[in-house]
Structure 1
């Protein structure tokens, strides 16, 4: 429903909501440069480090769609308030953690809070802005999310190196509290209380079955290697497909009863959609790059958190420039844009692996290193927006919102699985007492795994575009 707020007030309200869009990706990426420091302070295992990242991403992914539905049902202002308050409190819990378990639980709860907070900004664009202003609002929303991912590495390194009040890594979580307090005091009164036009009841059992399926997959992948693959880890992996099957069957039954399922069975059967979403699941494992490269730079080479953050800057520059060139590149490459962007990332992965192989335990030559990391960022800047847009465009107008939510969730699930699987490969190859040579070998293997996954994602992207093109050709001929 369209609000009648003045231009100044609606842009002010949107600025507040953008904080809710900025903080979740910032806190996903910023923790990477702090991992060696966290490990030294809390004596965390490699598996626990992975859960610090994947626990947040998994909780965020599973409940992201639910967070949007809650805003439709109970009002986006109220759910945003609950989400950002919870995000502030759980950030404090993470910052004051005295054990790995406390930090992991805090991160999972932080992901849940982010899932309530983040969707309200995107969902409010239609209600806040007239049609002629929505493109600008969408651009700013995308820029905020992209900037968070780009700035996180350097900001995290700077905050830890500054050692404010001798808080070390804890400052990256505690810094959220003054931001949250400022939003609650000055920003919340600006937010209108808007809801969906026809909000559907929440698919509670679907949410729980989805969370169960994801948990049965991620927990054993992270913990199994560290604990020597005990029986319960194997049992969880065996139970995962069964839980997934139950989830899918329940969604179909729920839809037949007239409910609105978490995942629409009819929509995901549309030509090209399943191939595109499968490509997304292989694509965003690139998030594991930030984990393994951060650990390598600090543990094998001995860089400070600040210097580590600066090494990632070419990725940010590439990720910023890439989307600016996509309109021209799309006119040249068309539907192949996502695949070409991913192949550029593959080239960056291979180049980085070659550089590390040539100088194990040492900083590679600056020029080639900037080229490798920059290629990863530039390819990401080409692939991510065009891949997401291509998937959403394949859905009918009435289902675009659900598909957008499913796509965002798939990206977060991919990030969680990437950290679990490729992080597990990295720590396995590095060994229990890693030296510079073994960590270099582990990074090379991890980068090649990321490159292979991106190659698979590129293939699925091409399959999806061809499937859609065949359907369009058949419709045009009838």
Structure 2
């Protein structure tokens, strides 16, 4: 449900924009606002579960997420919707890290790897299926509610999860050293401020014609992130509990996993956001047609995520670089298919399927490999770190590639479908280059 909510709004964005008179920047903030609070608060959410009990914090997060979903569905303006999306992200940040932590504390060895594989598959399918669900719900226009069911659908699901969760989840504390660790509130403030100062100018700068404050904000983001890194290092040397524990970062393969997850999620979110704006805004597709167009991506994404562990062991070492390479080629194919301004034809669906397979291969083996060998006492920090990186990747993808698309669209103007196709063409090549860099740089980092 939390993964789906990152993407379900993509297809609903044009309808939200028309009904609430929202600008392109407003729509980016509706999508990115959820991810901002989700990503920034993720590690703190994991730490709270370590102190107060993973089951208890998970249910509290689900309750907050459900209440915020109801508020989003009833919002009467773009500003309200952006605020409630921030709250919704905070609920997800409390609930989701507990899932990974419970898996790591409950299973060991091959059983843990299988559980993490199942988790990756659910996450992947939820992300891809969000586009389809958004199209179906918006086009259905249930009782004349338009885009609102994309949020309201979470309410009955959330209530059901709360009822079942109280029966099946352990509600006590985690025990051990993790329970006594203090929360790193200064680190949280520094990280949150740096992410916000990076995101806001990326989202609003294009609409405001890149004023001086946007560049100052970007410089301030770099400065605050440097202060965050310095503070975390000093806190660790003093024996404190930094937001990101150095021993987790030093875990074999963790640095490479962080890089790969950041890259793949940036490409994933940027591709889906730009593609949605093109097919609905440029080609005039209905929300249902746009959503169903992503079915090949969702189906292949889910199938590969579930089955890759059954493939020959000799192939597993190259799956992630091959996934990045396949993603780069497939995104380029989609860009070429739309370049003439038409509907892309049959080759378009081959491109969609290739994107789904490539993203699954780049993401699922990386996440499973990074967490399969982490010690139980580091479960919360490792879970929070990788979940945070995944959300930051999506945030960067929407903000950067979304801004690239909108900026190119505005500069071209005149003929709508042609301009949109040209804007997506430029965006597709930028996405393909990012995926290619993920493949090449991943190999270099592994040799080092």
Q: Same fold (TM over 0.5)?
A: yes
Distance 1:183 1:318, change over 3 A: closer
Whether the 8 Å CA contact 1:275–1:460 is kept in 2: the answer is no
Distance 1:139 1:241, change over 3 A: closer
Structure 1 residue 344 corresponds to structure 2 residue 326? yes
Among candidates 410, 417, 441, match of residue 460 of structure 1? 441
Q: Deviations over 1:190-224 (max 9, x none)?
A: 43313223222211111111111111111111111
Whether the 8 Å CA contact 2:105–2:376 is kept in 1: the answer is no
Paired with 2:293 and 2:123, the residues of 1 have a C-alpha distance of 21
Mean CA deviation greater in 418-427 or 197-206 = 197-206
The structural deviation recorded for 1:464 is: 2.4
Q: For residue 225 of structure 2, what is the aligned residue in structure 1?
A: 244
Whether the 8 Å CA contact 1:349–1:451 is kept in 2: the answer is yes
Paired with 2:54 and 2:376, the residues of 1 have a C-alpha distance of 22
Task: For 1:13-52, list aligned pairs within 5 A.
Answer: 23-52=1-30
Q: TM-score by structure 2 length? A: 0.92
Structure 1 residue 215 corresponds to structure 2 residue 193? no
Q: For residue 363 of structure 1, what is the aligned residue in structure 2?
A: 343
Among candidates 270, 279, 282, match of residue 260 of structure 2? 279
Q: TM-score by structure 1 length? A: 0.87
Paired with 2:370 and 2:103, the residues of 1 have a C-alpha distance of 20
Paired with 1:288 and 1:116, the residues of 2 have a C-alpha distance of 25
Give SS of 2:75's match.
Answer: coil
Which has more radius of gyration?
Answer: 1
Q: Deviations over 1:27-79 (max 9, x none)?
A: 00111110110111111111111111111112111111111111111122331
Q: For residue 271 of structure 2, what is the aligned residue in structure 1?
A: 289
Q: For residue 303 of structure 1, what is the aligned residue in structure 2?
A: 285
Aligned residue pair count: 442
Whether the 8 Å CA contact 1:84–1:180 is kept in 2: the answer is yes
Paired with 2:164 and 2:381, the residues of 1 have a C-alpha distance of 32
Q: For residue 405 of structure 1, what is the aligned residue in structure 2?
A: 384
Mean CA deviation greater in 229-238 or 136-145 = 136-145
- Give the CA RMSD over aligned residues: 2.3
Give SS of 2:100's match.
Answer: helix
Mean CA deviation greater in 317-326 or 245-254 = 317-326
Q: Deviations over 1:104-152 (max 9, x none)?
A: 1111111111000112222223555687865554444333222212321
Paired with 1:181 and 1:271, the residues of 2 have a C-alpha distance of 40
Whether the 8 Å CA contact 1:272–1:463 is kept in 2: the answer is no
Q: Deviations over 1:439-459 (max 9, x none)?
A: 000111111111111111112
Distance 1:28 1:61, change over 3 A: same
Give SS of 2:243's match.
Answer: coil
The structural deviation recorded for 1:246 is: 0.7
Structure 1 residue 105 corresponds to structure 2 residue 83? yes
Segments of structure 1 that go 5 or more residues without pairing to the other structure are 1-22, 468-478
Segments of structure 2 that go 5 or more residues without pairing to the other structure are none
Structure 1 residue 414 corresponds to structure 2 residue 396? no
Distance 1:277 1:122, change over 3 A: closer
Mean CA deviation greater in 431-440 or 262-271 = 262-271
Structure 1 residue 76 corresponds to structure 2 residue 58? no
The structural deviation recorded for 1:396 is: 6.8
Among candidates 115, 123, 126, match of residue 101 of structure 2? 123
Give SS of 1:416's match.
Answer: helix
Among candidates 233, 237, 240, match of residue 214 of structure 2? 233
Distance 1:130 1:402, change over 3 A: closer
The structural deviation recorded for 1:333 is: 3.5
Q: Deviations over 1:279-299 (max 9, x none)?
A: 332321121111111111111
Q: For residue 194 of structure 1, what is the aligned residue in structure 2?
A: 172
Paired with 2:121 and 2:337, the residues of 1 have a C-alpha distance of 32
Distance 1:271 1:126, change over 3 A: closer
Distance 1:131 1:235, change over 3 A: closer
Give SS of 2:244's match.
Answer: coil
The structural deviation recorded for 1:156 is: 1.3
Paired with 2:162 and 2:190, the residues of 1 have a C-alpha distance of 34
Give SS of 1:51's match.
Answer: helix
Task: For 1:265-276, list aligned pairs within 5 A.
Answer: 265-269=246-250, 273-276=254-257
Paired with 2:227 and 2:312, the residues of 1 have a C-alpha distance of 40
Paired with 1:299 and 1:112, the residues of 2 have a C-alpha distance of 30
